[in-house]
Structure 1
Amino acid sequence: MTTLRGGTALLAVLVALVAQVTLFPHLAWHGVVPNLCLLVVVGAGLVRGPRFAMVLGFVAGALVDLSPPADHLAGRWALALVVVGYVAGQFRRDTRPRALAVLATVAACSFVGTSVFSLSGLLLGDGAVSVPDMLQVILVAVVWDVVLTPFVLPVVMGAFHRLEPDRVPA
């Protein structure tokens, strides 16, 4: 990984995290805010593949876990975003993905990531949330992430693609 790409990825995660914890709590829908860090990880996975996205997912998840107003056991979002990075990276193609494929990938990754986070909390006894409430949170999170996809993913994917375009074999 180049230093420029790593620094840009970290900057993208930090900007997403700051917006996620400062701006979007005021726009919460049923108490759920969109996970902008998840969208950055998905964009990285679609452009750079699973390895880069998994590392970025761990870093982004650890930052989400440790940033206020986190009220859960640390490591849950890190685990969830590593899985998201892997899943998003598996959808990477040699050509640019179409808009519908990107939306489907975001929906799948949002569902998987939020489910991993919720289920890990259930297994660890972190929070007293019922399963129906958990399903509602997962559904709202997926809707939020899909709604914000057209605004976030083109910027993230474009930045990662411009930093190091794919090399064509000679």
Structure 2
Amino acid sequence: MNRRGRLIATLVAVLAALLLQVTVLPHFAWDVGGLGVVPDLVLLVVVATAVATDTRFATLTGFWAGLLLDIAPPADHLAGRWALALMVVGYVVGRLVHDNAGDPGGAGAGSRFGRLGTRRPPLPLALAAAAGGSFVGTSVFALSGLLLGDSAAAVGDLLPVALIALLLDVVAALVVVPATLGLVRRAAHDGLPRASQRIRVRA
């Protein structure tokens, strides 16, 4: 496994998702209770990373991806809320997926892909992971806002927002999750090692 290729691919996927989420999708936001709801592409990249790699890598990816989402304009909430939410998503999805696949994603799993990382996961598994990740991430983000007094919405107002967000995330997952899985898998297995071999041959 090429760790550098995996890291670069994940970084590219997160930045691309973040750029689309904060620049393009707000123009197509679904208004729910005065709040604009869009698919959370960054969350879906974290979900795909949790499926393709291991729990530890997915948890760390969730943290720094969420932190980027916290500080990217036009952020209007306390920094750290999305970092916490996506870190939990990476951990929970990673544990559930790899425990059920016979790969716990523990300390030794960081040196290899799990069995799911070497092949395309079934579509129902990808959608279930996206739905579960969306529910967990949205819930953690909303609850942290209530606990910190950083949200003016009541619990009753947040429920329809969470349901619409889950629906949009599952639809977007049909494209985002397979694309991210393919990018990470290709970079980790085929990308940089072949490039380095070509360089050595030419030298």
Q: TM-score, normalised by structure 1?
A: 0.93
Aligned residues: 165
Rounded Cα–Cα distance in structure 2 between residues aligned with 1:5 and 1:164: 5
Identify the match of residue 125 of structure 1 among 146, 149, 160.
149
1:87 and 2:92 are equivalent in the alignment: yes
Structure 1 contact 49–88 (Cα < 8 Å) conserved = no
CA shift for structure 1 position 87 = 1.5
Structure 2 contact 5–188 (Cα < 8 Å) conserved = no
Structure 1 contact 39–152 (Cα < 8 Å) conserved = yes
1:139 and 2:163 are equivalent in the alignment: yes
Partner of 2:7: 6
What letter is aligned with 1:123? L
Partner of 2:63: 58
CA RMSD of aligned residues (A): 1.2
Structure 2 contact 4–188 (Cα < 8 Å) conserved = no
- Mapping of 1:1-40 within 5 angstroms? 2-30=3-31, 31-40=36-45
Rounded Cα–Cα distance in structure 1 between residues aligned with 2:37 and 2:46: 19
CA shift for structure 1 position 79 = 0.3
Q: TM-score, normalised by structure 2?
A: 0.78
* Identity across the alignment (%): 53
Partner of 2:48: 43
What letter is aligned with 1:152? V
Deviations 1:30-51 (A, max 9, x none): 2111110001000000010211
Query: Which segment is superposed worse, 156-165 or 41-50?
Result: 156-165
Rounded Cα–Cα distance in structure 1 between residues aligned with 2:38 and 2:188: 32
Deviations 1:72-121 (A, max 9, x none): 00000000000000122121332443111111111011000000000000
Structure 1: gaps (5+ residues) = 166-170
Which structure is richer in relative contact order (CA contacts within 8 A, separation 6 or more)? 2
Rounded Cα–Cα distance in structure 2 between residues aligned with 1:83 and 1:4: 24
Identify the match of residue 158 of structure 1 among 182, 198, 201.
182
Partner of 1:70: 75
CA shift for structure 1 position 5 = 1.7
What SS does the aligned partner of 2:186 have? helix
What SS does the aligned partner of 2:182 have? helix
Rounded Cα–Cα distance in structure 1 between residues aligned with 2:188 and 2:28: 35
Structure 2: gaps (5+ residues) = 102-114, 190-203
